Amino acid sequence: MKEIMLFQAGNEEFGLYLSDVKSVYRASELAQLPLSPELSDSLSEEVSGRVPGISPHGGTGSLSDDSYIRVCRLPGGKDMLLYDFPRIFSAKTRPSPLQKIIRTDVGSVALAVLADHIERVAESDADRIFSLPRVFGKRSLQWFPSVFSTGTAGEEKRLVPILDPAGMAGIDAVAQDTVCRPPDIPAGDCRDTEEYISRCIRPDALEKEICRAIRRGISRGLNRSIFRMTVFREKAAGH
């Protein structure tokens, strides 16, 4: 069972796995600053200079107006990139008092999404979550690799794209989790390559990565089996 936080941005509805949500703030609680070169430098190296090109209203293209992405300052003084979803996907520029900032961390990188309001948290079985078909193209797949079908019997059923924060920021989540940057460990300090590699890999991250790989393998295997069974059943039924 997966828990998905559903939120609204303009007229569009999006989802975010609850496990990806670190915290939620009122938008009025946090200072929001335009993305300037100085602030960009203060952000972690993984994000700095990697702000993806976004054109308004979700179209493809390059970013000419960087007001779609701002910097948001946490009470402790830490800065994080804030993606203004109402502006990006609905051309909505007027802030409302109900807006929320959803913080989501990718490894050590803090990212945030501005939402008009948070609707609810929905529970879902794996069979109500679909992979986005590849025909949608690279950027759609990076940002929204899966889609959630809301509603049970008697309820209105809608399709809601689920956001992948790592894909949104163009961060390689695997590399983020497992490997330290080479400057952290000077190669000269190690006896040989094996020691260098073993010191580069954080044991806790490695464990996480192994668990994730196993989970991914099991769910892919299951999906394939379900697909084959469906095809077989349809063929047997003569459709």
Q: Is 220 in the site for other proteins (CB under 8 A)?
A: no
CB 61 within 8 A of CB 53: yes
Q: Which two tokens stand for residue 108?
A: 């050590």
Q: Is 59 in the site for other proteins (CB under 8 A)?
A: yes
Q: Is 89 in the site for other proteins (CB under 8 A)?
A: yes
Q: Which two tokens stand for residue 171?
A: 């961060």
Q: Is 140 in the site for other proteins (CB under 8 A)?
A: yes
* Total of chain residues touching other proteins, rule CB under 8 A: 29
d(CA 115, CA 10): 8
We find the least distance from the C-beta atom of residue 137 to other proteins, in angstroms, to be 4
Choose which of 33, 35, 132, 205 interacts with other proteins (CB under 8 A): 132
Choose which of 126, 159, 187, 222 interacts with other proteins (CB under 8 A): 159
Choose which of 133, 186, 188, 203 interacts with other proteins (CB under 8 A): 133
We find the least distance from the C-beta atom of residue 198 to other proteins, in angstroms, to be 34
We find the least distance from the C-beta atom of residue 141 to other proteins, in angstroms, to be 8
Q: 127, 139, 128: which is closest to 163 by C-alpha?
A: 139
Strands, sheet with 117-124, edge to edge from the N-terminal-most edge strand: 117-124, 2-9, 12-17, 159-162, 146-149, 129-131
d(CA 190, CA 197): 9
Q: Is 111 in the site for other proteins (CB under 8 A)?
A: no
Q: Is 127 in the site for other proteins (CB under 8 A)?
A: yes
Q: Which residue's CB is nearer to other proteins, number 151 or number 217?
A: 151
Q: 222, 79, 52, 213: which is closest to 143 by C-alpha?
A: 52
Q: 61, 10, 226: which is closest to 131 by C-alpha?
A: 226
Choose which of 50, 73, 139, 202 interacts with other proteins (CB under 8 A): 139
